[in-house]
Structure 1
């Protein structure tokens, strides 16, 4: 089974995806193709909040994604636009349009990290979340609005105001842990960490033990959702709630987000 990930920047979080897939099942094939940033985007970390929002909206244009998908060496069995902000900034309809364009273009199931969050929260029956956001507060608010469109309430959110995805890829375990702990709230049924550049696979089990609730990093939800669309999610200890033997999960509905 081959999982195709569209990704925004080379040499950031790919190793975390590879580690997760290897620990789930070494037979999972993993391929990357890269969407192109807009011609006016230089260093994302140097842009102000409005500039960052415009840049991530631009790269998520469906025509950019389908063009990037042509770079896969072979057609994958399932594809996901593996970027949180580049999918939620267009709203729920925009995220669905991205996935629909990819599915039509490649002829395979398609999703994105943002849609994966909705699928995971539905499966967990979790309607109240805490948000450990690496983004500027303006981008955090857009993700909160995206979740609200799908009926998910954000009870608490923190915003780290980080710059580029390359900066985020260099974050160590302590900084990621501090962000997740700061975001947690007693009313939250899950803690979301929406950034695919972060290296979170080795941390999720410890975070769930500490916070006593599901912790959903972007890498984990993206891979889980893609495999779930193929009906092929492995059960593995040590990789968080989504990959346990049905603990905390309800049966899938007949339709997907």
Structure 2
């Protein structure tokens, strides 16, 4: 059995992330977490606070973690959310150059979670002062996220973040949720993992706690294929969704199409064909990801897939089977390729490749679709109900 070792760079005054990480890993026997502390005591927008995040002490601690032969090293702090994401990207490069070990950060993990779920509108629950919170909104805007704030807690002492009651964190999450695709609890010293997971069913959107998101991405980078249940959708299904996104982006690039989508019925991962499991878009193309207005299984083209269990290649829509008129009128599609996802006796879903103009699909295009389909099948066998789900 492969054992995965996770190296965590921890703010010195943090009393949350270690116990929460252990709690999230409870019941697994193939993952261990190892922590090294670096001095961080106060969060503000000034030179003294910023100096705490100098790379030198982090690199020294990372080298010590490397002595334990960890599989990944993460900065388990959200400072990149106000210092700028490039600060974290440079830190990860420096850690990997110094240790030869892949690296990430809590901020990058949150952004990766948003990418996996196609989030462009993000609600924020933060413990910081308002000026720090507003800087985070601006930082995320630079990454293509429209962020809205719940009222910040107004705290600057890092140790005190862990004393914020869980009920207050839950209220912030609920306040940040309306009109958002997801909510993020941004701070690894806030006990947000439990309220985040608990509120997801009633809110109907994912809630990304920073500690849980950091653990998810660390497991993912280590190659652990995480499927941790009972702690929210990200730890259960985030890696599967991220791999789907990668497959669809590769298909979009290979075909030069305008949109690729994947629809699946996999209840164990909260997936239903009426909403896409993943989507990749060309420049200026409208997203179809959250449009659940059609009963997808009743569409003419989907019934054709169900009957023939073979790819449907349509250079135009003048012949049967005709797609729904909304696909043409609302989303501007004038040609498409569809391929069924078949596991066992079930047509579990399908991949769609859309073009805004009529086009003759080539053998290279259909080969790219077949390759994407093979990747989806492999992923379902690794993460899904059709294969053995790994505990982590």
Class of the TM-score when normalised by the shorter of the 2 chains: 0.7 to 0.9
Aligned to 1:144: 137
Give the TM-score, by structure 2 length. Answer: 0.57
Where do residues 78-89 of structure 1 align in structure 2 (5 Å cutoff)? 78-84=72-78, 86-89=79-82
RCO (CA 8 Å, sep 6+): is it higher in 1 or 2?
1
1:75 pairs with 2:69: yes
Residue 93 (structure 1) shift: 1.4
Where do residues 42-57 of structure 1 align in structure 2 (5 Å cutoff)? 44=42, 49-51=44-46, 54-57=47-50
1:26 pairs with 2:26: no
The alignment yields a C-alpha RMSD, in angstroms, of: 2.3
Aligned to 1:40: none
1:2 pairs with 2:5: yes
Contact 1:215 1:240 survives alignment (8 Å) = yes
Spell out structure 1 runs of 4+ moving beyond 3 A: 245-248
Contact 2:137 2:148 survives alignment (8 Å) = no
Mark the CA change 1:66 to 1:161 in structure 2 (over 3 Å): closer, same or farther: same
Of 64-73 and 124-133, deviating more is 64-73
Q: Which runs of 5+ in 1 are unaligned?
A: 38-42
Q: Which runs of 5+ in 2 are unaligned?
A: 250-392
Contact 1:131 1:191 survives alignment (8 Å) = yes
Give the TM-score, by structure 1 length. Answer: 0.85
Partners in 1 of 2:239 and 2:111 — Cα distance? 18
Q: What secondary structure sits across from 1:30 in the alignment?
A: strand
Partners in 1 of 2:94 and 2:213 — Cα distance? 21
1:93 pairs with 2:97: no
Aligned to 1:202: 194
**Greater gyration radius:** 2
Q: What secondary structure sits across from 2:169 in the alignment?
A: helix
Contact 2:162 2:189 survives alignment (8 Å) = yes
Of 161-170 and 99-108, deviating more is 161-170
Partners in 1 of 2:102 and 2:217 — Cα distance? 11
Q: What secondary structure sits across from 1:159 in the alignment?
A: coil
Aligned to 2:161: 168
